[in-house]
Structure 1
Amino acid sequence: MSLSATVPLQAFGVSPLVVVGGLLLLIAIAAVYSAIEIVEAYEKEALTVFGEYRELLEPGIHVIPPFVSRTYPFDMRTQTIDVPQQEAITRDNSPVTADAVVYIKVMDAKKAFLQVEEYKRAVSNLAQTTLRAVLGDMELDDTLSRREMINARIREELDEPTDEWGIRVESVEVREVNPAAGVKQAMEQQTSAERRRRAMILEAQGERRSAIEQAQGAKQSDIVRAQGSKQSQILEAQGDAISTVLRAKSAESMGERAIIDKGMETLENIGQGESSTFILPQEMSSLLGRYGKHLTGSDVSDMAKANGQGELDSLNFDAETRELIGLDNIAEMAGEIEQTEVDVEEMEEQAQAIQEGEDLDADDVIDERE
């Protein structure tokens, strides 16, 4: 048989030694290729020889037994596992659906290789059951508003079993929690009603506040009007009082001047007589003195001061009222027309006595004729 096998090779002109050498070369190349293992920087690989676990290969180049060795790579970076959408019934019997994302990292590749089959799928399945359990233990309002608590509880439930697998759960994020369509519609109606209620409350509070502000404004306005009316009445009354005083002073001054004028007319009549010497009573002398001052333009107020009388009484008003009505200025103006007080009855008696000169007592009048 060997002769028959070598005949075809010789027929093609190929030496059997060349064939054997080529086969040995191919086997050597395959052996070298299978004996060299390159581990990436972010990986570790579990090595088995004849199915027996040997070691973890670190990043770099490794020489392993060819043809009888197998390697299983493990990504040592943080990995993301999507948890499919899950349906659950909350504690208050409301159906909800939720999905999540789990972030894991391989901490011990040997445990992940020996303790669990396909650790990613195992973590995903465990996260699904845990998510349903956590949602079922909560009420609907909590599932919608307390997202952080759900994340923390799922992570806590995953920590213990995944530690045995050499896996660390870094975080869990629940992406969506959706109630059933009917429940969602009822919640929207409830939310709308609550918003309308709040709007009505705010509107009522605004109207109440506006009414209070208007009432306070009206009150302040009434107070200001009342104060203004009171002040006006006070000023009007004070003005009337001052006007009355001025009119009285003016009338008094005019009355005195009338008496003086009348007395002078009487003296003029007496002076037309033949007598050149007259003895006048003291009252007539005083009258002439006043008349002389009147003719010479002397300030009558000097006589008033000499008699102990001051300027026009400015009335006993408070300082604020005096300033408002300008009372000090009025007193100054009144001082310019003020005249000395004259006893009207006394002046009338003197004028009557002058007119009735023939009835004067002989002791008071001495007629010296030339």
Structure 2
Amino acid sequence: MDPILHNGAMFSLAIVFLVVALLLSAFRILREYERGVIFLLGRFYKVKGPGLIIVIPIIQQIVRVDLRTVVMDVPTQDVISRDNVSVKVNAVIYFRVIDAQKAIINVEDYLQATSQLAQTTLRSVLGQHELDEMLANREMLNTDIQSILDTRTDGWGIKVSNVEIKHVDLNETMVRAIARQAEAERTRRAKVIHASGEMEASAKLVEAATKLAQEPNAILLRYLQTLTEIAGEKNSTILFPLPMDLLNGVLNKDKDESSKNSDKQN
């Protein structure tokens, strides 16, 4: 009898232990950023959390969902731009789950699905733009990609808050070509600025010549001022042309004085 009683006591103790373990396993604690998707006999029941929740063992199952923002690095993608330039582009996306039910029921793995969708969208959007637009209008491209991803992941209960293109890598040949293009553009600008300066200078010279022509002695004074500036450079010898018409005033003055002297002598 004693072995039978002993076995019965052990069996009862095991049953009690099993019941206590099942009751304890029914209590779950979800953190503030977690939600639990509850399935009752395989069918969706409700979303619970955060805090202390009860999940009935065996007939109910729980799937935890993290609601925090996920920072996902999009692998480097080979993109051919609209002007047939091959570049390597990578990006980073920021998203979070806003509907735990959709994230678990509507898609098998929302992290993997979002990653693959981000890669294909990145190639598709950038392929519609030229290389110059990729380099200069990065904010616009970020907004376009974010809008497309947010629309397509809405059925998965995911909100894409931001997309940032990190790097646009070019091969060495394209880097040299862009450098030559930038150099040619700066040369063109320099020539345009120089021509504009010449045009403005010519207009000022015409205006100055008109004013100098109004007074014959003005050009002589300007000529002498130029000689003074040259002499200030301490050159040993200065050769300069002397137009004879500049001396007409001096020669005429000498002739007048000579004629006056001769008249006095007579």
1:28-47 equivalent positions in 2, closer than 5 A: 28-47=19-38
Paired residue for 2:175? 184
Identical residues among aligned pairs (%): 37
- Aligned-pair CA distance for 1:215: 9.8
1:116 equivalent to 2:107? Answer: yes
Counterpart of 2:184 in structure 1 is 193
Letter in 2 for 1:147: R
Is the counterpart of residue 72 in structure 1 residue 63 in structure 2?
Answer: yes
Q: Contact 1:94 / 1:180 at 8 angstroms: preserved in 2? A: no
- Displacement of 1:52 in angstroms is 2.4
For the pair 1:135 / 2:126, whether they are aligned, the reply is yes
Match of 1:63 among 54, 78, 88: 54
Q: Return 5+ residue gaps in structure 1 as ranges.
A: 8-13, 227-370
Other structure's SS at 2:153 match: helix
CA RMSD of aligned residues (A): 3.4
- Asked if 2 retains the 8 angstrom alpha-carbon contact of 1:34 and 1:67, the reply is no
Structure-2 residue corresponding to 1:125: 116
Match of residue 161 from structure 1: 152
C-alpha distance in 1, partners of 2:207/2:20? 103
> How far off is 1:217 after superposition?
9.3
Quote the offset at 1:148 in angstroms: 2.1
Question: How far apart are residue 17 of structure 1 and its match?
Answer: 4.0
Distance 1:115 1:66 in 2: 25
Q: TM-score, normalised by structure 1?
A: 0.51
Q: Deviations over 1:199-224 (max 9, x none)?
A: 56556767887899899999889479
Aligned to 2:122, the other structure's residue is in SS state helix
Larger relative contact order, structure 1 or 2 (CA cutoff 8 Å, min sep 6): 2
**Deviation for aligned residue 1:147:** 1.2
- The match for 2:10 among 6, 19, 39 is 19
Q: What are the Cα deviations for residues 1-31 of structure 1, in whole angstroms up to 9, with x where unaligned? A: xx9xx59xxxxxx932443244234313321
> Counterpart of 1:15 in 2: which secondary structure?
helix
Query: What residue is the counterpart of 1:48 in the other structure?
Result: 39
Structure with the larger strand share: 2
Taking structure 2 as the reference length, the TM-score comes to 0.68
Larger Rg: 1 or 2? 1
Alignment check: 8 A CA contact 2:55 2:62 kept:
no
- The code of the aligned residue for 2:110 comes to Y
Q: Which has the higher helix share?
A: 1
Q: Which of the numbers 72, 95, 107 marks the counterpart of 2:86?
A: 95
The answer as to 2:135 corresponding to 1:107 is: no
Which letter does structure 1 place at the counterpart of 2:63? Y
The residue correspondences of 1:339-358 to structure 2 (distance < 5 A) are none
CA distance in 2, matches of 1:175, 1:86: 12
Q: Structure 1 residues 207 and 51 mapped into 2: Cα distance closer, same or farther (>3 Å)?
A: same
Q: Which residue of 2 aligns with 1:172?
A: 163
- Comparing 26-35 with 138-147, greater Cα deviation is found at 26-35
